[in-house]
Amino acid sequence: MAGINEAKYMLGESVRMLKSGKVSNLISVIIMGFSLLVLVIYILVTLNVSIIIEKGMEEMCVYVYLEDGVNNSITEDIREKLLEIESVRRVVFVSKDKALEKFREQLGKNSDILEELGANPLPDAFRIQMKPESNASVAMEKIAQAATGWKGVDDVRYGKKWVEKGEKLVKGFYMTGLALGLIVFLSVIFVISNTVRLSILSRRESVEIMKLVGATNMYIQVPFIIEGAIQGIVSSLLAMALLWGVCSFAGRYLPGLGFFRFEGVIGFIILCAFLGSIGSFVAIRKFLKR
């Protein structure tokens, strides 16, 4: 292991490096910050869309309409049978009065036409919510088939076509998202490794001189690794700050747009510090091996 003196000098070299390369460091950090911004925007968009999709999937319901005038015990019977089905998350009873009220609400100003009807034409119903992890279209189909034959059940309905379309859409979204994410990630790596290479190239002479006077590889590498870690931290902070700005701007038009949680931000910064130091280490190692 290196002695205390060497450790001190290596730290000194790191500080010197950060000070002397202020402008080039700033440029590197800006380039990396914006590359990372692209990455985090991508991640955030994916996250938000997948949250919306999940919510949408939750709202996909099966309606079991009951025959008119079914008594309470049969109603309870149906409820219990529905709850026994594995993929069912929640069963809500919607009475015909409630349904009418909702309908009236939806009609708003035009609700007057309902008065023409006299009696309430709507049936009692169960609204069934599915568990999010269950394969919705298959599970819904099953419920529909099972419940259609039950006593007291008039009809079972769900947006079959919509559910199937929705599922295809989600699959497509995740697949393109994965491909896109890979491309974004690779370009970020490419940009950062090039930035690191340039920074080493600009210090080629001092590295050569250090080798000539007998500096160990470690003595030469450590400052680069520290610089890489600091660049990673600063550029990830920059990316996060920019993203926050973008988000609060976009939030005006897209209410409910979510930002990363605090742990996510910290994790991202640590990851970037790690990536920065690894990137620098690999680049300087390659350079020293020549």
Nearer residue to another protein within complex by CB, 135 or 217: 217
* In the complex, minimum distance from the CB of residue 283 to another protein, in angstroms, rounded to a whole number: 19
Nearer residue to another protein within complex by CB, 113 or 213: 213
Please, which residues have CB within 8 angstroms of residue 121's CB and are 6 or more apart in sequence? none
Distance of alpha carbon 275 from its chain centroid, rounded?
21
Separation between Cα atoms, residue 7 and residue 85, nearest integer Å: 66
* In the complex, minimum distance from the CB of residue 210 to another protein, in angstroms, rounded to a whole number: 7
**What strands, in cross-sheet order, belong to the sheet with 153-157?**
88-94, 125-130, 61-66, 153-157
Look at the block and give the residue holding tokens 């309902």: 114
Contact 72, 211 (CB under 8 A): no
* In the complex, minimum distance from the CB of residue 224 to another protein, in angstroms, rounded to a whole number: 15
Nearer residue to another protein within complex by CB, 5 or 73: 5
Separation between Cα atoms, residue 24 and residue 18, nearest integer Å: 9
Nearer residue to another protein within complex by CB, 198 or 210: 210
Nearer residue to another protein within complex by CB, 11 or 271: 11
Q: Which two tokens stand for residue 88?
A: 């069912």
* In the complex, minimum distance from the CB of residue 220 to another protein, in angstroms, rounded to a whole number: 9
* In the complex, minimum distance from the CB of residue 180 to another protein, in angstroms, rounded to a whole number: 43
* In the complex, minimum distance from the CB of residue 9 to another protein, in angstroms, rounded to a whole number: 5
Half-sphere exposure of 15 (CA within 13 A, CB side): 6
Q: Which two tokens stand for residue 94?
A: 């919607």
Nearer residue to another protein within complex by CB, 187 or 216: 216
Separation between Cα atoms, residue 109 and residue 105, nearest integer Å: 9
What's the CA angle centered on 196, arms 16 and 30, to 5 degrees? 85
Q: Check residue 125 and report its DSSP letter.
A: E
CA distances from 169 to 44, 172, 174, 219, 246 (A): 19, 5, 9, 54, 27
Q: Which residues of this protein are in contact with another protein, per CB under 8 A?
A: 2-3, 5-6, 8-9, 20, 205-206, 208-217, 219
Nearer residue to another protein within complex by CB, 69 or 214: 214
* In the complex, minimum distance from the CB of residue 135 to another protein, in angstroms, rounded to a whole number: 58
* In the complex, minimum distance from the CB of residue 20 to another protein, in angstroms, rounded to a whole number: 5
The partner residues of 129 in beta bridges, in order of sequence, read 61, 90
Nearer residue to another protein within complex by CB, 146 or 282: 282
Contact 143, 85 (CB under 8 A): yes
Contact 60, 136 (CB under 8 A): yes
